[in-house]
Amino acid sequence: MSENLNNYLKSLNESQREAVENNSGATLVLAGAGSGKTRVLTYKLLHLLVQKILTPNQILAVTFTNKAASEMKSRVSAMLNFPIDKMWLGTFHSLSLKILRKNFDKVGLKQNFVIIDTDDQLKLIKKICENENIDTKDISPKFFSNAIDSLKNKGIFYNELKPNKYRTNDQQLRTIYKIYQEELIRINCVDFGDLILLCIKLFKTNDDVKKYYQNLFRYILVDEYQDINSIQQKWLEYLYQGHRNICCVGDDDQSIYSWRGADVTNLLEFKKNFNEPKIIRLEQNYRSTKNILECASILIDKNKNRYGKKLWSENETGDKIQINGFWETKEEAIYTSDQIERLISKKVALSEIAILFRVAAHTRSFEDRLISIGLPYKIIGGLRFYERKEIKDIIAYLRLTNNLSDDLAFERVINTPKRGIGKTTLAKINNIARLNKLSLFEASQIFINENNSKVNIEIQNFIKNILNWRKIKKNFDHIELTKVILEDSKYMESLEIELKNLKNPESLSRIDNINEFIESLKDFENLEGFLEHVGLVMENISNTSMPTISLMTMHGAKGLEFDYVFLAGWEEGVFPSQRSIDESGKKGLEEERRLAYVALTRARKKIQISYVNQNRYSYASHDFNAPSRFISELPKDLIEITDSKFVDDNNFLNNFISDEHISSDYLTPGRKRMLENKSKDIDWEFNQDFSSEDDLLINDTVVHKKYGTGIIIKKDADKAEVKFENFGLKKIYLRFLDIKN
């Protein structure tokens, strides 16, 4: 054994060492952000093996990702200098699969059963729906798939699902779930959710198997315990009943994945679930400055449902957290990029800089800015804004409207959203185009004249819409045109239906992205200018291996750390998310605050928080956002407010936001309106000057740099209808008009 190995305990602080050496009974290690959780997990495994307390096959170690499992195994193997392949180390699903492979016959499966993927799952459900005469246009197979997965994550078998008149599509769901499970058994398949569910069934129905694994695993070690769901908790409780030795490592202050099914209640009720547990707090932070930790600790202390701990550090005091308010997102992005350039001038590596967002859609203005000034960046855990499917779809619609010969755009949107126009039909249209040297749009018109097909009506409607949008384009601005396209094509309607059926964050994110897209259009005078901009943006997007600035959501940032962190979009309604509060009340607000805590604790050296006063999705109207309540919860002496026009008191939100009015039960969007009405009492002391736009009146002669001279016929908020001498009637933003002298 190497000298380093002999001295591994000496490198731990007192709390870390206690966590490593405590190896009997139930232990909960509350590992604060940056407190050395990974080191504790690794050294605990090492300790169990080095001290010969257990052999590798007697340890069950559960992680949340295969990557985490692989890294832990590699670290311990390297320190021991021998492989530990016999150790049961992996995710809940991979470990459950290992158990099922050995006991397949006891749950009705045959040897070599197959795990089906999401696509096959949907195909099977669609087939069942057709056999049961359920219209998949009315109820999407995706709805049933998500609902079944949710039930399985709660440990509910199809034969345990009781009628519930309040459950969406209750009768159909119970029917489909039953037939679906029977079909899986018939074709000797399981889905992802079955892996843990069937293990639970195995433990319930076969006492010998249950006792075998209870006796086999003499110690259970669980990582990221705050993120487990109901069925994973049941799985652990079954296996714990043998030797009753379990150590769960997690942080109730970093539980931010309830939308994935995670339930922090499991951690908060650890004392109830496991016998006489020992609770060890890891509170020394090795990552951040003292000021950052103090701010994060005071913020999270506002949450009531938590064990409680206070992070501390021997690091330097560090800078105060900077709070910056801006009129609009463009200003926010420009200021942030200027700050980043200052850091670069001081030799700070790009890889040590991150910009975090509550909503993925809000990366757009920052991406545009970084591209325009030539700073390389990458989106962590997602796609760049203009690469996202829904954005590419809308751009394709706009391109085709602008240019009927754009075959690439035609192919992308002809069946988006789905219109029943399949590959066979499209191949025929392509053939007509090739033989006659026509565009696909022209060829589609010939196709409907030469073919008696069921899809003719859909193609006709598509052609009619495109031609109508081209007419609209002559008289309306590109923003109004986009809204019409989204409505006529039923694109937004399809997303809203999807949201209603699926109720998942991905659907919400797509709608947010579209709203942000419409907001982005206000920066351009016309459609051509916007399309030109997009072309240049896409041209500048390249996969580079050079160091980059990291852009990501706060959820995606968990587990990561950077020297300099910029936190954008801290506005009330955006962060905390009004949607989360409406749906989950106090629970939702507390999870949003935990998310703020996670965001703050990503930074080692410095944090800048920014908010935007103008509503991000107001389409250039003058609606105002209040800064996030989380800003008011930060200690006044540890923050610097560089923009005092809107914030002059640390408790500026207390007059109109009170947590006591937030229920833990479902809240309607009416609460939002209540908050908005209360916010009107705030004295904002606005310094913005709209006089240049207000000076423009009906009948004024104005000049536009593209359309020339015209007369204002009608004025509405920030837009006007202008009759131009050479271009006729146009809707134009006031800011693009000048009074003719």
Helices 478-488 and 491-502: angle between axes, nearest 10 degrees: 60
Active site residue: 42, 254, 401, 553, which one?
Answer: 254
**Residue 38 annotated among the catalytic residues of the structure:** yes
Active site residue: 16, 27, 37, 608, which one?
Answer: 37
**Residue 718 annotated among the catalytic residues of the structure:** no
The CA-CA-CA angle for residues 198, 199, 202, to 5°, reads 85
| 177: Cβ contacts below 8 Å, ≥ 6 apart | 144, 147, 148, 151, 158, 161
The string over 417-447, giving b where at least 16 C-beta atoms fall within 10 Å of a residue's C-beta and e elsewhere, is: eebebeeebbebbeebbeeeebbbbbbbbeb
**Strands annotated E in 15-92:** 26-31, 59-63, 88-91
Active site residue: 63, 191, 218, 224, which one?
Answer: 224
Helix (H) or strand (E) holding 506: helix 505-520
| 543: Cβ contacts below 8 Å, ≥ 6 apart | none
Query: Quick one: tokens of 303?
Result: 């949450």
**Residue 593 annotated among the catalytic residues of the structure:** no
Compute the distance between CA of residue 212 and CA of residue 667 in angstroms, rounded to an integer: 47
The CA-CA-CA angle for residues 599, 672, 487, to 5°, reads 95
**Residue 67 annotated among the catalytic residues of the structure:** no
Task: State the alpha helices, DSSP H only, in 521-577.
Answer: 527-540, 554-557
Active site residue: 419, 522, 602, 715, which one?
Answer: 602
CA dist list (Å): 665 to 340, 586, 588: 42, 8, 10
**Strand 701-704 relative to strand 738-739, pairing:** antiparallel
Q: Is 7 exposed, middle or buried (0-12, 13-18, 19+ CB in 10 A)?
A: exposed
Q: Is 333 exposed, middle or buried (0-12, 13-18, 19+ CB in 10 A)?
A: buried
Among the listed residues 381, 370, 316, the one whose alpha carbon sits nearest the alpha carbon of residue 560? 381
Active site residue: 191, 223, 227, 571, which one?
Answer: 223
Active site residue: 17, 38, 523, 676, which one?
Answer: 38
Among the listed residues 684, 676, 678, 671, the one whose alpha carbon sits nearest the alpha carbon of residue 656? 678
Q: Is 174 helix (H, G, I), strand (E, B) or coil?
A: helix
**Residue 363 annotated among the catalytic residues of the structure:** no
Query: Quick one: tokens of 208?
Result: 């010998």
Is there a contact between 293 and 309 (Cβ–Cβ < 8 Å)? no
Residue that is written with structure tokens 């290992």 in the block: 98
**Residue 254 annotated among the catalytic residues of the structure:** yes
Which residues does the annotation mark as catalytic? 37-38, 223-224, 254, 602
